[in-house]
Amino acid sequence: MTNPLLSVKDLVIEFPTRFGPLTAVDTINFDLAPGEILGVVGESGAGKSLTGSAIMGLLDPPGRIASGEIWLKGERIDNLPNEAQRAIRGRRISMVFQDPLTSLNPLYTIAEQLIETIRTHLKVSESEARKRAIGLLDDVGIPAAERRIDDYPHQFSGGMRQRVVIALALAAEPELVIADEPTTALDVSVQAQIIDVLKEQCSERGASVILITHDMGVIAETANRVAVMYSGRIAEIGPVKDIIQNAMHPYTVGLMGSIPTLAQEEDRLVQIPGSMPRLNDIPQGCAFNPRCDRAFEKCRIDRPDLIDQGTRQVACWLYDETVLAKGKIA
Amino acid sequence: MLAYVIRRVFQSLFVLLMVGLVAFSMFRFVGDPVDNLLGQERTQADIERVREQLGLNDPFPIQYVKFLGNVTRGNFGVSYRQGRPVADIIAERAPATLELAGVSALLAVVFGVGLGVFTAIRRDGIVANFIMTTSLIGVSLPTFLIGILLIYIFAVELGWLPSFGRGETVQLGWWSTGFLTESGLKAIILPAITLGLYQMTLIMRLVRAEMLEVLRTDYIKFARARGLSERAINFGHALKNTMVPVITVTGLQIGSIIAFAIITETVFQWPGVGLLFINAIQFVDIPVMAAYLMLISVMFVLINLIVDLLYFAIDPRLSADASSRGH
Ligand SMILES: Nc1ncnc2c1ncn2[C@@H]1O[C@H](COP(=O)(O)OP(=O)(O)OP(=O)(O)O)[C@@H](O)[C@H]1O
Ligand code: SF4
Ligand SMILES: [Mg+2]
> How much of chain A exceeds pLDDT 70, in percent?
94
Type of residue at A195:
I
User: Residue whose CA is closest, atom 3 of ligand 2?
Assistant: A289
Question: In Å, how far is B92's CA from the nearest CA of chain A?
Answer: 44
DSSP A253-296: HHHHHTS--TTS-GGG----SS-PPPGGGPPSS-TTGGG-TT--
Helix (H, G, I), strand (E, B) or coil at A69: strand
User: Is residue B168 classed as helix, strand or coil in its secondary structure?
Assistant: coil
- Nearest ligand, CA A228: 1
Phi, psi of B273 (to 5 degrees): -70, -25
Q: Could you read off the pLDDT of A9-68 as tens digits, one per residue?
A: 999 999 998 888 999 999 999 999 999 999 999 999 999 999 999 999 999 889 999 999
CB atoms under 10 Å from CB of B256, counted, come to: 16
Which candidate from A58, A102, A104 shows the least CB-CB separation from B225? A58
DSSP A22-65: EEEEEEEEEEE-TT-EEEEE-STTSSHHHHHHHHHT-PPTT-EE
> Is the model's pLDDT at B293 over the cut of 80?
yes
- Per-residue pLDDT at A77 exceeds 90: yes
What's the whole-number mean pLDDT along residues B105-116? 93
Q: Give pLDDT tens digits for B96-108.
A: 999 999 999 999 9
Write the DSSP symbol of residue A304.
P
| Ligand 1 and A28: CB distance under 6 A | no
Give the position, in ligand 1's atom list, of the atom nearest the Cα of A48.
Answer: 21
Q: What is the pLDDT of residue B325?
A: 39
Q: Is the dihedral of CA A74, A79, A84, A90 positive or negative?
A: positive
Q: Among A6, A55, A35, which Cα is nearest to A202's?
A: A35
Domains in chain B, ordered, with CATH? Answer: 92-282 (1.10.3720.10)
In this prediction, residues B200-205 reach a mean pLDDT of 91
Greater model confidence, A1 or B197: B197
Report the C-alpha gap between A184 and A150 in whole angstroms.
27
Which pairs with CB-CB distance under 8 Å and at least 24 residues apart come from A23-27? A23/A66, A23/A232, A23/A279, A24/A50, A24/A63, A24/A232, A24/A279, A25/A50, A25/A51, A25/A54, A25/A232, A25/A233, A26/A231, A26/A232, A26/A233, A27/A68, A27/A233
What's the pLDDT tens digit per position in A96-141? 999 988 999 999 999 999 999 999 999 999 999 999 999 999 999 9
Tell me what pLDDT residue A216 has: 86
- pLDDT confidence of A324, banded at 50, 70, 90? confident
Please indicate whether residue A25, judged by its CB atom, sits closer than 6 Å to ligand 2. Answer: no
**Cα–Cα distance, A229 to A218 (Å, whole number):** 16
**Residue B323 region by backbone torsions, left for phi larger than 0, else alpha for psi between -120 and 50, else beta:** alpha
Alpha carbon distance A118, B11 (integer Å): 46
**pLDDT tens track for B312-323:** 778 887 765 544
How many angstroms separate the alpha carbon of residue A304 from the centre of ligand 2?
8
**For chain A, what is the mean pLDDT?**
90
Contact B172, B208 (CB under 8 A): no
Closest CA to A251 of A284, A216, A288, A224: A288
Residue B138 has pLDDT above 90, yes or no: no
- Among A223-237, B186-200, B236-250, the range of highest mean pLDDT: A223-237
Confidence of residue B5 (pLDDT cuts 50, 70, 90): confident
Please answer whether residues A209 and A7 qualify as being in contact, where contact means their C-beta atoms are separated by less than 8 angstroms.
no
pLDDT the model gives residue A267: 44
For position B70, what pLDDT does the model report?
Answer: 84
A56 vs A32: CA distance, rounded Å: 15
Residue A169 clears pLDDT 60, i.e. is over it: yes
Mean pLDDT for the stretch of residues B252-276: 87
Angle at A72 between CA A66 and CA A74, to 5 degrees: 105
B121 vs B43, higher pLDDT: B121
Contact yes or no for B265/B222 (Cβ under 8 A): no
- The model's confidence at residue A312, banded by pLDDT at 50, 70 and 90, is very high
Per-residue pLDDT, A177: 97
Q: Which of B225, B228, B241 sits opposite A116 (nearest CB)?
A: B228
A21 prior amide bond cis, ω within 30? no
Q: On the CB side of B265, how many CA atoms lie within 13 Å of its CA?
A: 25
pLDDT of B201 over the 70 cut: yes
Amino acid at A82: N
Closest Cα in chain B, distance from residue A242 (Å): 33
Torsion sign (Cα): A84, A87, A90, A96: positive
Q: What does the pLDDT read at residue A235?
A: 95
Higher pLDDT, B33 or B186: B186
Tell me the C-alpha distance between A39 and A33, whole Å: 13
Cβ atoms of residues A313 and A237 within 8 Å: yes
Residues B322 and B327: their CA atoms lie apart, in Å, by 9
Least confident interval from A170-174, B272-276, B298-302, B321-325:
B321-325
Q: Is A205 helix (H, G, I), strand (E, B) or coil?
A: helix
Structure pTM? Answer: 0.83
What tens digit of pLDDT does each residue of B49-102 get? Answer: 777 776 777 777 888 888 888 888 888 888 877 888 888 898 888 899 999 999
Residues by chain with Cβ below 5 Å of ion ligand 3 = A 49
Nearest CA in chain B to A90: B226
- Per-residue confidence (pLDDT) for residue A50, from 0 to 100: 95
Question: What is the rounded distance in angstroms from the CA atom of residue B148 to the CA atom of residue B164?
Answer: 11
